[in-house]
Amino acid sequence: MTTETKQGGPRAATPCLAGLCAGLMRRDLAPGAPWLSTLPVLLGAVLALLLASGMALAVFYDPRAAQASLRFIALEVPAGWIMRGYHVTGAGLGFVLLYVHLFRMLLTRGYRGPAAAGWMLWVTLLAALLLAGWLGFALNGGLGGYWSLIDAISASLALSGPAGGVAMWFFGGAPGDGTLARLLVFHAVLGVAAAGLLWLACAATRQARPAPAGRMVAFWPVYAAQAFAALALLALVFALLMCFAPHWGQGAQSQLPASSLAVPAAVSYPWYLTPLAGLTALFPGAGGHALAVIAAAAALYALPWLDRSGGGAPGGLYRALTWLLGLDVLGLGLSAVCPLAAGLQILLFVWFFIHFLVLTPAVTAMEAA
């Protein structure tokens, strides 16, 4: 073996590792990125934790017993309560990170121009995680999840045409012993798909980033140090929530056992589903719910083309309206927790669409002029 071979041995044997190291050390990043730019990294860490804890839970979870099965995991499986805590707290914190990141993209117009593909991937990720979150809510076997699922299946089976066919394929027909087993598969697949979508969204966002001018820094050690500090802070918040507020944001009915004889006046959703529940509340039936969700998703997907600005920095009016949209979404979530006056509920719903369809084109065009 020659000296050259010896020296190049490890790198030659692990070209991927060498490539990764070279990528981390490459000076191609602009310095001074804010803390909020670490949100995708944090979301990736939370998703990895969700996948790992989900796999551990799936080993013991019995869809036929649902909540009793989760109690078995908590009581009988070694460290079962920790695995469940990881999954429940991770879901809640993951949505915090995702909502804040999307809001930041809206506020900074991070959806425009070449970043449009990345924005659409982020919206798709939100949709996938919301569906996975709702399935998790149903798989929990609590009273709220049970009735939410029954309502969804009953309404879906009344659909006809292609929509009815999709609903039949998804739910597998009327609620029965196999329903949760089927939904467990979708829950897991969506979790894995979300990880892939996150990777694609980050890659697309990175591709769309303009080539920085001037001095450059490498990810290692500059942004690695920032990401590590952000991860430590996230872990601190995670531990606080998991160990001292384990039922945080899960909805009042999540602990109650599912029962076909106990019908709640209104389903109590986990906090991260409440904005969606508020958006769909005005439209009864599966068709109405689906219409509201599709309309909201379409507005988000179309945002890059609704924005008429020429690419300049967002103006004060645009930023104020975006903050107002954030409050509107919070209000929609609140409306799903405690009923609001019908007029206010309608206003919150209508404002969501007015923001995207009317105000965004008008204000961005005005600010560009």
Partner 1 sequence: MMRHRFLAPLLAAGLLACGAARAENTLTPLHFQSDGWRGSIDKAAAQRGFAVYQSVCASCHGMSGLHYRDLEGIGLTPEQVAGIAASIKLADGSAATPDSLFKPPGAVNMGGAVPPDLGAIVAQRPGGTRYVYEFLTGFGPAPDGMTLLPGHFYNRAFPGGQVSMPNVLRDNAVTYADGTKASAAQEAADVAEFLTWSSDPDLAERHIIGLRTVIFFALLAMVALAAKRRIWREEG
Residues within the interface to partner 1 (CB under 8 A): 31, 68, 71-72, 74-75, 81-82, 85, 215, 217, 221-222, 225-226, 228-229, 231-233, 235-236, 239-240, 242-244, 246-247, 252, 255-257
Give the H/E segment covering residue 200: helix 179-208
Q: How far is the CB of 213 from partner 1 (least distance, A)?
A: 16
- Which tokens go with 212? 């920085």
Q: How far is the CB of 214 from partner 1 (least distance, A)?
A: 12
Q: How far is the CB of 238 from partner 1 (least distance, A)?
A: 8
Give the H/E segment covering residue 218: strand 217-218
- Which tokens go with 152? 């969804």
Residue 331's Cα: distance from chain center in Å? Answer: 19
Q: Indicate the SS3 state at residue 313.
A: coil
Q: How far is the CB of 225 from partner 1 (least distance, A)?
A: 4
Q: How far is the CB of 29 from partner 1 (least distance, A)?
A: 11
- The partner residues of 29 in beta bridges, in order of sequence, read 217
Nearer residue to partner 1 within complex by CB, 46 or 152: 46
Nearer residue to partner 1 within complex by CB, 4 or 76: 76
Nearer residue to partner 1 within complex by CB, 75 or 213: 75
CA dihedral 281, 287, 293, 294 (to 10 degrees): -150
Nearer residue to partner 1 within complex by CB, 239 or 358: 239
CA dihedral 202, 20, 196, 239 (to 10 degrees): -80
Q: How far is the CB of 236 from partner 1 (least distance, A)?
A: 4
Q: How far is the CB of 33 from partner 1 (least distance, A)?
A: 10
Nearest to 21 by CA among 36, 11, 31, 6: 11
Nearer residue to partner 1 within complex by CB, 71 or 308: 71
Nearer residue to partner 1 within complex by CB, 82 or 347: 82
Q: How far is Cα 23 from Cα 9, in angstroms, rounded to an integer?
A: 20
Nearer residue to partner 1 within complex by CB, 85 or 191: 85
Kindly list the distances between the CA atom of residue 190 and the CA atoms of 138, 197, 332, in Å, as whole numbers in the listed order. Answer: 15, 10, 25
Q: How far is the CB of 261 from partner 1 (least distance, A)?
A: 8
Scanning the chain, the segments in alpha helix (DSSP H) are 3-13, 15-25, 39-60, 67-76, 80-107, 116-139, 143-157, 161-171, 179-208, 224-244, 274-280, 285-301, 303-306, 316-337, 342-354, 360-368
Neighbours of 232 (CB within 10 A): 9
Nearest to 98 by CA among 68, 123, 64: 123
Nearer residue to partner 1 within complex by CB, 72 or 199: 72
Q: Indicate the SS3 state at residue 27.
A: strand
